[in-house]
Structure 1
Amino acid sequence: MLHVFVNDGGLLRWAKEADGAPGPVPRNTVWLDLLNPTPDELVRAEALIGAPLPTREQMAEIEESSRLRVANGILSMTVTALVWADTDEPRIAVVTFVLAGRRLVTIHHIDPQPFLAFRRRASHAELPITKGEAVLAALVEGMVDRTAGVLRRTGIELDAINRRAFRGRKLRSRGETLDDTQTLKRIGHAGHLIGKARVSLASLTRMMDFLGRDEGWNAGKATRRWARTARQDVAGLDEYAGFLAGKVALLLDTALGRINVEQNEIVKIVSIITVLLFPPTLVASICGMNFTAMPDMDEPAAYPSALLLMLLSALLPMIFVRLRRWL
């Protein structure tokens, strides 16, 4: 899918009539957004900038020299964006920015939320954007803001789990039930989301460093200054993500430790109950032996005495255990 944005009298306008039209792309195009492009759409975009665009296989390469390069004054940068963060399966999508003069071409196969939001803004409001560098800055800032929002929500989620995990001297209140399986799932999902966010932030950091160096392409002072500022924002988010990752590790250890303590408590109770039931079982076993010569077989008080002895043999060890605070 091809989205064409042109310079219309100093304003950025979505030229929807040119998206699917055959023939060359308008010469006043500022931004070409390629979402799952077809071969024909790639040919139209390459004809506009006069250079080949990276293929899907080239976008998937992880070497920095393959992701950040300059050729004939055309800047190609590939980063990873956090997508589907509001679902149970967050993913990392590869996005390529190709900056050729005053034009920007973006290639991606999953539509990140900042791209969708910026296209909506451009279709409903008049944006005073005439250069591809300004579009690049707006898209990257949207990606950073999106990642910041995801990390902020994840931090709130971890704080809620933390308040339930650490509550005074006791791990849980009397009568309170906690779904440990669900808690572990929430902690695991938060850790998975934070890991995806850090991968995206790392790629954005490398891109900001690359833009700030101005090696091999003619970048303006405003672009370099913006890149350095964005680099600081991304670095701050990465530090916060590292803090959240440490909190995830602590909460995971706490949850597993609580489960282990509860399991040990159950085994302890079962073991003590087994010991408490041993004396009355022994009395019942002795009194229940069927021998003719057993003493007290003909005594009227033999049966009540045996019952009383079994009761005492159960109560006395239980009182002893309670006094020692083993239960």
Structure 2
Amino acid sequence: MLHVFINDGGFLRWAKEADTASDPVPPRTVWLDLLNPTTDELARAEAMIGAPLPTREQMAEIEESSRLRVVNGVLSMTVTALVWADTDEPRIATVSFVLAGRRLVTIHHIDPQAFLALRRRATHGDLPYPKGEAVLAALVEGMVDRTAAVLRRTGIELDAINRRNFRGRTLRSRGETLDDSQTLKRIGHAGHLIGKARVSLASLNRMLDFFARNEGWSAGKSTRRWARTALQDVTGLDEYAGFQAGKVALLLDSALGRINVEQNEIVKIVSIITVLLFPPTLVASICGMNFTAMPGSDEPHGYPSSLLLMLLSALLPMIFVRLRRWL
């Protein structure tokens, strides 16, 4: 799918009439957004910039030399974006930015939220982005803001888990139950989301550093200043994500430790109850033997005496357990 955006009097406007046309893209084109492009759409974009675009296989490369390069004055940068962060299966998707002069071409196969938001805003034609570098800055800032929002929301989620499950000196109230499996799932999902966010931030960090160095590419002074500022934001977010990853590890260890302690308490209670029931059972087994020459079988108070002995044999171990503070 090809989306064509043109410079309309200094503002970015979505030229939807040119999206499906077979003619060359308009000369005022500033940004071409390719979502799962076809061969014809790639050919139209390559004809505009006069250089080949990265293929899907090339976008999947992880070497920095393959992702960040300048060929014949055309700057090609590939990063990973965090997508589907609001679902149970967050993913990272590769996005390529190809900057040729004042024109930008983006290639992606999953639509990041920042691209969707910018396309919606460009429908009204009131965005002051007259050249490709400004569009690139807007898209990268949108990706960074989206990642920051996800990390902030994940931090709130981790705080909620911490407050509900680990209350410091305050013990769980009697009768209160917690779904430990759900807690572990929430912690695991948060860790998975933070890991995806850190992968995206690492790629953005490398791209912005490459862009700010301006090696082989004549970027404007304001653009380089923006790249350095955005690089500081990405570095700070990566440090915050590292802090959140450490918090996930601490919560996971604490949750597993608490579950282990609670299971040990249950096993201890069951073991003590078994010990307390053993002496009365032994008395009942002995007194209940059905032999002909059973001693005391003719005693008139044998039955109540057996009951009393069973009661005492249960109370004495219980008193001993209470004195030792095992329960």
Q: Normalising by the residue count of structure 2, what TM-score does the alignment of the two structures yield?
A: 0.98
**Which deviates more from structure 2 when the two are superposed, residues 242-251 or residues 124-133?**
124-133
**Which deviates more from structure 2 when the two are superposed, residues 168-177 or residues 205-214?**
168-177
Q: Is 1:153 equivalent to 2:167 in the alignment?
A: no
Contact 1:4 1:29 in 2 (8 A): yes
> What SS class does the counterpart of residue 24 from structure 1 fall into?
coil
| d(CA) in 2 for partners of 1:34, 1:118 | 14
In the alignment, which residue of structure 2 is the partner of 1:36? 36
Give 1:170 shift. Answer: 4.3
Give the number of aligned pairs: 327
What amino acid sits opposite 1:117 in the alignment? A
Give 1:325 shift. Answer: 1.4
What amino acid sits opposite 1:128 in the alignment? P
In the alignment, which residue of structure 2 is the partner of 1:112? 112
CA gap 1:152/1:224 in 2 versus in 1, 3 angstroms: same
Identity of aligned residues (%): 87
Q: Normalising by the residue count of structure 1, what TM-score does the alignment of the two structures yield?
A: 0.98
What amino acid sits opposite 1:22 in the alignment? S
What amino acid sits opposite 1:263 in the alignment? Q
Q: Is 1:61 equivalent to 2:61 in the alignment?
A: yes
Give 1:258 shift. Answer: 0.7
| d(CA) in 1 for partners of 2:74, 2:178 | 57
Q: Is 1:231 equivalent to 2:231 in the alignment?
A: yes
Q: Is 1:305 equivalent to 2:305 in the alignment?
A: yes
What amino acid sits opposite 1:51 in the alignment? A
Give 1:282 shift. Answer: 0.9
What amino acid sits opposite 2:208 in the alignment? M
| d(CA) in 2 for partners of 1:24, 1:63 | 33
| d(CA) in 2 for partners of 1:319, 1:239 | 56
Q: Deviations over 1:235-291 (max 9, x none)?
A: 000000000001000000010001100111111111111111110111111111222
| d(CA) in 1 for partners of 2:239, 2:169 | 31
Q: Deviations over 1:78-104 (max 9, x none)?
A: 000000000000000000000000000
Give 1:144 shift. Answer: 0.3
What amino acid sits opposite 1:88 in the alignment? D
Q: Deviations over 1:55-110 (max 9, x none)?
A: 00000000000000000000000000000000000000000000000000000000
| d(CA) in 2 for partners of 1:111, 1:156 | 26
| d(CA) in 1 for partners of 2:9, 2:74 | 25
Q: Is 1:220 equivalent to 2:225 in the alignment?
A: no
Q: Is 1:275 equivalent to 2:275 in the alignment?
A: yes
| d(CA) in 2 for partners of 1:255, 1:125 | 51
What amino acid sits opposite 1:217 in the alignment? W
> What SS class does the counterpart of residue 264 from structure 1 fall into?
helix
| d(CA) in 2 for partners of 1:272, 1:159 | 37
Gaps in structure 1 of 5+ consecutive residues: none
What amino acid sits opposite 1:224 in the alignment? R
Contact 2:8 2:125 in 1 (8 A): no
| d(CA) in 2 for partners of 1:241, 1:264 | 34
In the alignment, which residue of structure 1 is the partner of 2:4? 4
Give 1:168 shift. Answer: 3.2
Gaps in structure 2 of 5+ consecutive residues: none
Contact 1:165 1:171 in 2 (8 A): no
**Which deviates more from structure 2 when the two are superposed, residues 111-120 or residues 315-324?**
315-324
Contact 1:3 1:34 in 2 (8 A): yes
> What SS class does the counterpart of residue 217 from structure 2 fall into?
coil
Q: Is 1:130 equivalent to 2:130 in the alignment?
A: yes
What amino acid sits opposite 1:41 in the alignment? E
RMSD after superposition: 0.9
Contact 1:59 1:67 in 2 (8 A): yes
4+ long deviations beyond 3 Å = none
> What SS class does the counterpart of residue 123 from structure 2 fall into?
helix
In the alignment, which residue of structure 2 is the partner of 1:75? 75
| d(CA) in 2 for partners of 1:9, 1:151 | 38
**Equivalent runs, 1:170-319 vs 2, <5 Å:** 170-319=170-319
What amino acid sits opposite 2:176 in the alignment? E
> What SS class does the counterpart of residue 124 from structure 1 fall into?
coil
> What SS class does the counterpart of residue 5 from structure 1 fall into?
strand
Contact 2:11 2:130 in 1 (8 A): yes
**Which deviates more from structure 2 when the two are superposed, residues 25-34 or residues 285-294?**
285-294
